[in-house]
Structure 1
């Protein structure tokens, strides 16, 4: 026998037809996968599974991730309430002669409806090669021990080579590589960013100067993998070792950093007005010398606190790390000003961030130009199947 409470919950003749229709509508779904890449996570789609008309992509991505969410939690989707977890990757057949696959990165706002295609994500690119193999977009031999996947990032037009081990024809997950910001270890993924300078602007120094001044603060604008702007923490009268939470709660700091970022974006040619500068580029970071604070271990060459889409990053975006490694070699830049003259590792620049450190290798040609930059990451498939949205 039905309880009275349950009977009261059933639709009655007085229930509005519109409510009944809405409640009974079938959810939409598409094949998808969910991967961790470096210190980020994203929903992955094969491009052929998405609508051919790209104007239909944005509403799908918003609903899948759970944006916009005024509560900032994205509980009705697969986002995690912060910029590093509010991402989508689309992978498909190559349109570049030097690539095996195309990869399009999409950053979504958490509380707003922004769907941003203006930048690359260096952390998530570590999962692109494994996804291509696991999904059959890149054919790997069942007995092969490793794969090299040449990735064309459509956001920037740049090529990245991903090298990683295979097990039984799939990307390996288990391994001994630890990366700061991720619990446990995983299989190493080597990422070689080929000729990464000038990703959006065509120039290593988009403003034509090693230093510019915004709001009375010296800044270096560098375009490597993504356009970035770097300011010294001491020029903002804050310690370079602030935690992400302390950055958020320091009165006026985020507002000031965003003002500098937007002015730099205009000077770099990314937008015509500060108001129209994209949320994801240029990225901004506060840099400092490890010697300026005893809390910073001496095993790093410089310290950064980076922001991504207006939020303090828990670690450091890979594209910011690549730009830092390059700027550290530019005499007179704000980054070179605070970088140790005696590298702790001759293989590259060791950067301290909010969760630990990362080593970035950079190869420069005889003319001083940046030929490639290398980082090691881990990635893992978390699930695959069908993803649903309302």
Structure 2
């Protein structure tokens, strides 16, 4: 019987922050995949190698982790004051769906460099040497990100001495500003930034318990818990949780009930088809620990400890969007994140994660009884790993 030949699609494989993903220009996708729908989702799943019942993604570009099962589509923006539109797709590993419900903060660091290198930024905007500022419209969450990309001899500078815990080799620093990162609305504590209307809630999880929780929409919807209250110290590395099936199941049911309280889903069952959001994380006061690289982190080096789960597993470092949520929550007195960091008003925190430490800043102002966060700021790095074409069977989408 005849078989469809493979088709070639221009693509670039890039590390951004502590994630990797396959980047496309919208114009390079097959015509039927240039619009949202089943064809686009099927194409991206086949590129990454999902769904894979073996959970390995051997027959695709993914590497079977939440940090590497990612896709990005960029196009020139028609939105005033923006250069490019950035659409992020988190591809499920063993299930047949692409989650479009949130952003990837780590890959955000690669959007500016890719936009410049792939001709999506007008040449007149790119200095011979210096910094090229790229204004990005994050289409998943309708927010603006500003990337400050270093340029040397008219090209994106990728090498440098900026070190990022969770990434083995140093590279050039890309500074990111997440403008107005929180959702807004009316209500006590900041409205939709805190969808329940409170800085701290009692989250009741049937069959598991009731826990103090800060539920925030900033960067990415996130549920913060106290580590001690759920039996952890905040120094855990991946295997301590990812090797414990019962713990993962408990976190998932907590996440599902938190998602209901946040108004993101209506039933626990819906959580299975919304793996990317919300995130669940737990915080603790500073203490000494040894990171996954063997690096010693002292309590004096950090303001608090944070561990976060992504796509059902403890993340090896920290999701960039969750770092925005951490910085935002830390800037608002009374949240669990703020209290773990010692309380009070602050415009930046350095937190400990499984791979080391990360600093994130946030500018928060209080208007009456409401809080507004104007921006969150952090630095990442990005590097092109491979460019050319990906190939997929022509009948797979």
Instruction: Calculate the TM-score normalised by the size of structure 2.
Output: 0.88
1:378 aligns with 2:381: yes
Q: CA deviation at 1:366?
A: 5.5
Q: 1:192 to 1:200 in 2, by over 3 A?
A: farther
Which one of the candidate residues 311, 336, 339 is aligned to 1:337?
339
Between 1:110-119 and 1:211-220, the stretch displaced more is 211-220
Q: What secondary structure, in the 3-state scheme, does the structure 1 residue paired with 2:361 have?
A: strand
Q: CA deviation at 1:142?
A: 6.1
- Report what 1:115 is aligned to: 98
- Encode CA deviations 1:252-308: one digit per residue, 9 max, x unaligned: 211111111111111111111121131111111011111487975121111111111
- Report what 1:170 is aligned to: 155
Q: Residues 1-390 of structure 1 correspond to what in structure 2 (within 5 A)? A: 18=1, 21-22=2-3, 25-50=4-29, 51=31, 52-55=34-37, 56-140=39-123, 141=126, 143-198=128-183, 203-212=192-201, 213-215=203-205, 216-250=210-244, 252-277=246-271, 278-291=274-287, 296-297=297-298, 298-340=300-342, 348-365=348-365, 367=367, 368-390=371-393
Aligned equivalents of 1:319, 1:53: Cα separation in 2 = 25
Q: 1:281 to 1:312 in 2, by over 3 A?
A: same
Aligned equivalents of 1:373, 1:330: Cα separation in 2 = 13
Checking the alignment, whether the CA contact within 8 Å between 1:158 and 1:199 is kept in structure 2 is no
Between 1:239-248 and 1:201-210, the stretch displaced more is 201-210
Q: CA deviation at 1:199?
A: 8.1
Q: CA deviation at 1:321?
A: 1.1
Q: What secondary structure, in the 3-state scheme, does the structure 2 residue paired with 1:247 have?
A: helix
Structure label with greater radius of gyration: 1
Q: CA deviation at 1:103?
A: 0.1
Q: Which runs of 5+ in 1 are unaligned?
A: 1-17
Between 1:51-60 and 1:274-283, the stretch displaced more is 51-60
Aligned equivalents of 2:150, 2:379: Cα separation in 1 = 13
- Report what 1:10 is aligned to: none
Aligned equivalents of 1:236, 1:62: Cα separation in 2 = 35
Checking the alignment, whether the CA contact within 8 Å between 2:331 and 2:363 is kept in structure 1 is no
Aligned equivalents of 1:321, 1:360: Cα separation in 2 = 7
> Higher strand fraction: Structure 1 or Structure 2?
2
Q: 1:261 to 1:200 in 2, by over 3 A?
A: farther
Q: What secondary structure, in the 3-state scheme, does the structure 2 residue paired with 1:380 have?
A: strand
Aligned equivalents of 1:138, 1:109: Cα separation in 2 = 31
Q: 1:114 to 1:142 in 2, by over 3 A?
A: same
Give the superposed CA RMSD: 2.1
- Report what 2:293 is aligned to: none
Q: 1:210 to 1:385 in 2, by over 3 A?
A: same
Aligned equivalents of 1:226, 1:341: Cα separation in 2 = 22
Instruction: Calculate the TM-score normalised by the size of structure 1.
Output: 0.89
- Encode CA deviations 1:340-360: one digit per residue, 9 max, x unaligned: 3599xx861001100001000
Q: Which runs of 5+ in 2 are unaligned?
A: 291-295
